[in-house]
Amino acid sequence: MTTDWSTLDVQMRRYSPRLRDDLRIDSAASNHLATSIAEECAALPPEAVAEIRAQDIVGLDTRLEELVGFQGFMDLVGSIPAHPAVVRAQVITQNYLCFVYLGDSCFKVLHKHTPSGSTTRKCCRFLTDNPIRAFRNALAHANWRYNEDFSGLHFWSRKGSDPNEPLSDFQVSQLELGFWQALARCVSYVAFSYATNAA
């Protein structure tokens, strides 16, 4: 598959310092994140791609359609005057798609099949570990709310998998959440595009 990922690379470049500092991704890959992920997906053994496709009951082409449809929604929202009801719907939709839908359908699967130390695996680990894991669970169990000044979200989740563990208190700023969402969308779009079109 030959796709020019330069536009997505440029969009993600604003997060290069975070990718280097928090995810330990090297400078070259952090400045060309989409291209790096695409190259790693292209290097996956055919049997790994076949296993990824076979495990997905919904179908990767359908998942890619959902991402494209969601981008259309985001473009539409960005083209109209801001309205509180629309912004709230956007927040719920974007968080569900990025962390619940993609967490289970993309990041966990990719983490399993990509090499240790690869850019893709580092991204998937980040997107499935705490605090994002805790945020995903808070979304799924309706344990979240806006901060009073709407500067971010307040959420409650267990840090581990023990159901007897008490809920912990977390907060995420809008700036941090924007990084998480952008990374989720970048990784999944590249991966689904590759897997859908791979021979």
pLDDT digits (tens, 9 = 90+) for 55-76: 788 988 899 999 999 999 999 9
pLDDT number for residue 56: 83
* pLDDT above 90 (res 173): yes
Of the pLDDT bands very low, low, confident and very high (cuts 50, 70, 90), residue 22 is very high
Structural domain includes residue 31: yes
Tally the domains of the chain: 1
Structural domain includes residue 87: yes
Kindly state the DSSP code that residue 73 receives in the 8-state scheme.
H
The dihedral region occupied by 59, where left means phi > 0, alpha psi between -120 and 50, and beta the remainder, is left
| Identity of the residue numbered 20 | R
pLDDT number for residue 2: 56
Of the pLDDT bands very low, low, confident and very high (cuts 50, 70, 90), residue 197 is confident
Kindly state the DSSP code that residue 26 receives in the 8-state scheme.
-
1-5, 45-49, 194-198: which is most confident: 45-49
- Alpha helices (H) along 4-142: 6-12, 16-21, 27-31, 33-42, 46-55, 60-78, 84-95, 102, 108-113, 119-128, 132-140
Helix or strand or coil: residue 23?
A: coil
Structural domain includes residue 53: yes
Structural domain includes residue 65: yes
Structural domain includes residue 1: no
Compute CA distances 45 → 38, 161, 198, whole Å: 14, 32, 11
Phi and psi at 173, nearest 5°, equal -75, 160
pLDDT number for residue 198: 64
**Boundaries of domain holding 124:** 6-197
